């Protein structure tokens, strides 16, 4: 498999998360002296609320972009056994609802929308529900949020189609979506879903089930990859070995 990664985007997201955390702390600390003055009670609470929102928005983002393996790295590990007709592009410079992960392969393009939530998750008729949520989770203190992956994936697919059409590239009619749950502690119940829903360990099999019909010739795939790999700080496309290097495995052990 070949790999493209927008390192500048990752770095930007990491910096933004750190900024939000520090700004949130500063606002929350600054609110306390204000509470000591009766005429500044309302500004104090406004400052505290702003700080609380900034801090608790930044913390999940900091975890997402600062941990290893990140979502893109986890996908690399399960997809690396694919041959060089497959290219995965992480965080391409697509306007609008940027798809985070796009796989270009002989049968088309696949937008992979990820979630990192643990626990019981159920989807029925594209409606999502997460069981056993605590009150703290409602304020983002419970880690990554579920939201509606189906709606997000559909928006990302639409953005990718629009990008391809704006560049007069093939494949806009061959865009599909997949929702991938990265957390090993998730318990999925898929009653019905218009979009394929899998756990991380099931991604490779699901991709292979999409087939290898040559709807996109090599030249068209290369043109698509080149367009999605544009921008400063973008690495690739580079070959990803089918097996993890022995030195890395030994260090991990």
What is the DSSP code string of 14-53? HHHHHHHHHHHHHHHHHHHHHHTSGGGHHHHHHHHHHHHH
pTM of the model: 0.83
| Positions of the chain with pLDDT lower than 70, given as ranges | 132-143, 244-253
H helices of 36-109, in order, are 41-66, 71-79
- In angstroms, the CA 79 to CA 1 distance is 7
Burial status of residue 38 (CB atoms within 10 A of its CB: 0-12, 13-18, 19 or more): exposed
CA distance 206 to 36: 59
**45 and 145 in a common domain:** no
Q: Strand, helix or coil at 112?
A: strand
Residue found under tokens 């999605």:
228
Does residue 148 sit in the same domain as residue 160? yes
Please report the pLDDT score of residue 36 as a whole number.
77
Report residue 180 as tokens: 């991938």
> Do both 129 and 118 map to the same domain?
yes
Is residue 83 domain-resident? yes
Q: Vertex 138, ends 96 and 128: CA angle to 5°?
A: 60
Q: Tell me: do 119 and 45 sit in the same domain.
A: no
58 in the same domain as 73: no
Cis peptide upstream of residue 69 (ω within 30 degrees of 0):
yes
102: left (phi over 0), alpha (psi -120 to 50) or beta: beta
Domain contains 60: yes
Chain centroid offset of residue 4 CA:
15
How far apart, in whole angstroms, are the C-alpha atoms of residue 131 and residue 81? 34
State residue 252's pLDDT score: 41
What pLDDT, on the 0 to 100 scale, is given for residue 240? 86
Tokens of 56: 């608790």
Give the residues across from 180 on adjacent strands: 114, 198
d(CA 56, CA 194): 32
Asked if residue 224 is part of any domain, the answer here is: yes
- For residue 237, the surrounding DSSP H or E stretch is strand 234-239
Q: Do residues 14 and 66 touch, judged by C-beta distance below 8 A?
A: yes
Residue 221's closest CA among 173, 158, 150, 170? 170
Same domain, 77 and 94: yes
Same domain, 53 and 108: no
Residue-range definition of the domain harbouring residue 96: 68-230
Q: 75 and 62: one domain?
A: no
**Domain check: are 121 and 191 in the same one?**
yes
156 and 114 within one domain: yes
Alpha carbon distance 48, 27 (integer Å): 6
The pLDDT, as a whole number, for residue 141 is: 54
Q: Is residue 241 part of a domain?
A: no
Of 66, 83, 113, which residue sits at a domain end? 66
Say if residue 97 is in the same domain as residue 181: yes
Domain count, the chain: 2
Torsion of CA 89, 94, 96, 99, to 10 degrees: -10
Would you state the pLDDT for residue 248? Answer: 52
Query: Among 66, 87, 102, which residue terminates a domain?
Result: 66
């Amino acid at each position: 498999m070949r790999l493209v990664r927008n390192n500048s985007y990752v770095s930007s997201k990491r910096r933004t998360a750190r900024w939000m955390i520090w700004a949130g702390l500063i606002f929350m600390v600054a609110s306390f002296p204000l509470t000591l003055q009766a005429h500044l009670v309302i500004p104090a609470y406004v400052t505290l609320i702003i700080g609380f929102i900034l801090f608790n928005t930044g913390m999940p983002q900091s975890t997402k972009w600062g941990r290893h393996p990140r979502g893109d790295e986890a996908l690399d590990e399960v997809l690396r056994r694919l041959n060089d007709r497959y290219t995965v592009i992480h965080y391409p410079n697509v306007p609008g609802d940027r798809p985070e992960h796009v796989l270009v392969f002989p049968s088309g393009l696949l937008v992979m929308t990820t979630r990192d939530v643990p626990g019981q998750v159920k989807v029925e008729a594209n409606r999502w529900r997460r069981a056993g949520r605590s009150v703290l989770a409602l304020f983002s203190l419970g880690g990554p949020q579920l939201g509606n992956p189906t709606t997000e994936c559909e928006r990302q697919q639409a953005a990718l189609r629009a990008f391809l059409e704006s560049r007069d590239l093939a494949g806009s009619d061959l865009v599909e979506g997949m929702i991938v749950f990265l957390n090993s502690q998730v318990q999925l119940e898929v009653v019905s879903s218009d979009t394929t829903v899998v756990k991380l360990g099931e991604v490779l099999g699901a991709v292979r089930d999409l087939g290898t019909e040559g709807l996109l010739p090599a030249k068209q795939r290369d043109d698509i990859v080149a367009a999605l790999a544009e921008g400063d700080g973008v690495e690739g496309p580079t070959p990803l070995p089918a097996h993890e290097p022995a030195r890395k495995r030994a260090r991990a052990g």
